[in-house]
Amino acid sequence: MTAPLLEVNDLCIARAGQEVVSGVSFALQSGSDTAVIGPNGAGKSTLVQALVGLLPHHGGTIRLLGHTLPRSGRLPRAIRDQVAYLPQKLLIDGRFPLSVSEFVRLGCSPRCHHREAVSAALERLQVSHLRRRLLSELSGGELQRVLLAFCTVHPRKLLVFDEPRTGLDPQAAVQLQELLQQLRLQEGLTILQITHDLSMVRRSSDWVLCLNRALCCQGPPEHTLSREELERLYGRDYVLYEHSHHH
């Protein structure tokens, strides 16, 4: 078995002097699609931000692509180029003077051939026709595709998303997930995404991390999304609500 792409051991993260995530351990295999689920305030965004070097950690280890990350959280350049992260709720200001192709080009590394790489990324995400549009003129679904093009214009190994389907209608959310799966299979990408969409997790993810400041459980969706585990993670009320909606 090959070494995991990401290996986290006993990770502890504090924000403003308070421990937000503690004792988290898991591993991501290359090419996997892992979902992080949990209630609001569970430390999901904090966890993924520490994994991509945006936050320091004060305990445990993070081993990403064969390198142990420093506790200060800063990723070395060679690692950073192989990881893409999209934060939650990216709001583009009205009439922000930036065209789609200019934006996607910003995702290029200094060494890549910009024009060809941008055209290929836009083609792959089926947004070539939007290249001259302003970012602020895109619909939610179009913007998410363009953001994916930004993330993948340079070859990456790991994509990390914080609730990528927020604000999308169900059809756009399904289309985005299909595109992600296509990218994963074609480019061999590993995906780690925070989500509240449990039906999507059931359909597409092959590993689930259930987080509520510490890991409550982890495993394939058929085990982690059982009624007992969800009750443990979200409380009894949530599970009753979901149950009544499905029937």
Partner 1 sequence: MAPELISSLSLWQEPFMQRALIGGVISGILGGWVGSIAVLRQLSFFAEALGQASLLGISLALLLGLSPPVLLWPFALGFAWLLRELLKRSSLSADALLSLMCSGALALSVVLLSSLPGARLSLQQLLFGDILGIAWVDLLPLALLLVVTLAYGVISRRAQILISIDPVLARSRGVAVETHRMILLGLLALVVAASIKAVGVLLISGFVVIPACVARLLSRSFNVYVLLAAGIGAFSAVLGLFGSAVFNQPSGPMVVLVQALLFVMALLAGRWVAQTTTAASVDRAR
3 binds partner 1 (CB under 8 A): no
Stretch that binds partner 1, among 113-121, 131-139, 167-175, 211-219 (CB under 8 A): 131-139
128 binds partner 1 (CB under 8 A): no
Which neighbouring-strand residues pair with 64?
Answer: 6, 67
The strand ranges marked E within 65-189 are 67-68, 83-86, 158-162
Contact 77, 115 (CB under 8 A): no
CB of 52 to partner 1, least distance (A): 6
CB within 8 Å of 213: residues ≥ 6 apart: 19, 20, 21, 22, 42, 43
Contact string (CB under 8 A) for partner 1, positions 202-241, x = contact: ----------------------------------------
* Residue 93 per-residue DSSP state: P
How far is residue 128 CA from its own chain's centroid? 24
Which neighbouring-strand residues pair with 14?
Answer: 19
99 binds partner 1 (CB under 8 A): yes
Stretch that binds partner 1, among 10-18, 51-59, 203-211, 214-222 (CB under 8 A): 51-59
CB of 85 to partner 1, least distance (A): 4
The only residue of 93, 116, 222, 237 in contact with partner 1, by rule CB under 8 A: 93
75 binds partner 1 (CB under 8 A): yes
The only residue of 12, 14, 27, 92 in contact with partner 1, by rule CB under 8 A: 92
- Where does residue 81 rank: exposed (0-12), middle (13-18), buried (19+ CB within 10 A)? middle
CB of 154 to partner 1, least distance (A): 10
CB within 8 Å of 109: residues ≥ 6 apart: 81, 154
Task: Name the residues that contact partner 1, by CB under 8 A.
Answer: 49, 52-54, 75, 77, 80, 84-87, 90-93, 95-99, 102-103, 106-107, 132, 134-135
